[in-house]
């Protein structure tokens, strides 16, 4: 599907009434094919979207607000383009609904139709806002390593295991992940957690590889899948998990997670301070 037809990068009037036709699908297949992923996925996972500007009207016209957490399975055929998602959510601002359950039912139906599979929505009401957790991603940070690099487009050739590496299980993190929107060129800032069981990764090489995304233009979901396939190809871990949490734009943050089957899902109710 041609991204020139998407709302992203264009001036679009904000909708005054409910319009599910605003949602714009982006097929996953083309970007996956470019990194050697076919119909049989080498990972499980999901995309976790957090929306901080949800609102609708109750039957008496009183505004309701909530934070929304959307779970989009990685095996759905399409992602939803982010600006179209924002426009769609705003189209519900003046919509009267009987209760929060009706909001959830409508939004899950509309998003599922565009993504091509079931999408789950959890609403966090205002009286639960103070229970939202903020913390760093769990693991050992790589960012204290003193590396030298001039690679700012993905450089999988940097990845390597330590010489004679023993098998370990560890979780490594970095707050230095940055890529760019492939349509607007705007920077996408993120933190990444790489958990694995296998030959010990060279940590300095891994950090240089993460930094190499700095001038790369690709959607969040595809960056995470690229990291997963590159690490898997370079070091053949027995198990691997890649989880990125990107800072929000337009009231939305996107947090893709990809892992070998059986790896436990990350906590979805925790966000970083930058989010």
Any binding-site annotation on 250?
Answer: yes
Q: Alpha-carbon distance 52 to 248, whole Å?
A: 9
Any binding-site annotation on 108?
Answer: no
Does the annotation count 223 as an active-site position?
Answer: no
Any binding-site annotation on 65?
Answer: no
Q: Alpha-carbon distance 216 to 178, whole Å?
A: 8
Active-site hit among 188, 202, 230, 253: 188
Any binding-site annotation on 62?
Answer: no
Any binding-site annotation on 38?
Answer: no
Q: Which of 174, 192, 254 has its CA nearest to residue 228?
A: 192
Residue 103 backbone phi and psi in degrees, to 5: -60, -50
Does the annotation count 4 as an active-site position?
Answer: no
Active-site hit among 46, 78, 181, 235: 181
Q: CA angle, corner 245, sides to 242 and 248, nearest 5?
A: 155
Q: Alpha-carbon distance 49 to 120, whole Å?
A: 10
Tell me how crowded residue 157 is: count the other CB atoms within 10 A of its CB. Answer: 12
Any binding-site annotation on 10?
Answer: no
Residues 75 and 29 sit within 8 Å (Cβ to Cβ): no
Instruction: Summarize the annotated binding site for substrate as residue ranges.
Output: 80-82, 220-221
Instruction: Summarize the annotated binding site for NADPH as residue ranges.
Output: 82-83, 249-250
Kindly list the catalytic residues: 181, 188
Instruction: Summarize the annotated binding site as residue ranges.
Output: 80-83, 220-221, 249-250
């Amino acid at each position: 599907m041609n991204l020139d037809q998407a709302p992203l990068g264009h001036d679009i009037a904000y909708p005054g009434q409910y319009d599910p036709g605003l949602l714009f699908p982006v097929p996953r297949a083309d970007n996956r094919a470019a990194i050697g992923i076919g119909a049989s996925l080498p990972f499980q996972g999901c995309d976790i979207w957090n929306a901080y500007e949800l609102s609708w009207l109750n039957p008496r016209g009183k505004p309701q607000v909530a934070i929304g957490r959307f779970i989009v399975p990685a095996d759905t055929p399409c992602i939803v383009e982010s600006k179209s998602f924002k426009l769609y959510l705003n189209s519900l601002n003046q919509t009267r609904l009987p209760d929060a359950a009706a909001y959830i039912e409508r939004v899950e139906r509309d998003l599922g139709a565009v993504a091509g599979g079931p999408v789950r929505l959890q609403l966090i009401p205002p009286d639960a806002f103070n229970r939202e957790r903020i913390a760093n991603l769990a693991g050992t940070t790589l960012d204290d390593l003193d590396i030298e690099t001039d690679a700012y487009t993905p450089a999988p050739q940097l990845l390597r295991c330590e010489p004679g590496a023993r098998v370990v299980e560890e979780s490594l993190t970095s707050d230095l992940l940055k890529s760019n929107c492939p349509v607007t060129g705007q920077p996408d800032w993120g933190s990444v957690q790489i958990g694995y069981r296998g030959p010990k990764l060279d940590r300095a090489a891994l950090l240089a590889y993460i930094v190499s995304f700095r001038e790369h233009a690709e959607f969040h979901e595809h960056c995470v899948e690229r990291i997963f396939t590159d690490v898997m190809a370079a070091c053949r871990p027995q198990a691997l998990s890649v989880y990125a949490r990107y800072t929000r734009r337009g009231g939305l943050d996107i947090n893709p997670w990809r892992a070998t089957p059986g790896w436990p899902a990350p906590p979805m109710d925790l966000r970083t301070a930058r989010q």
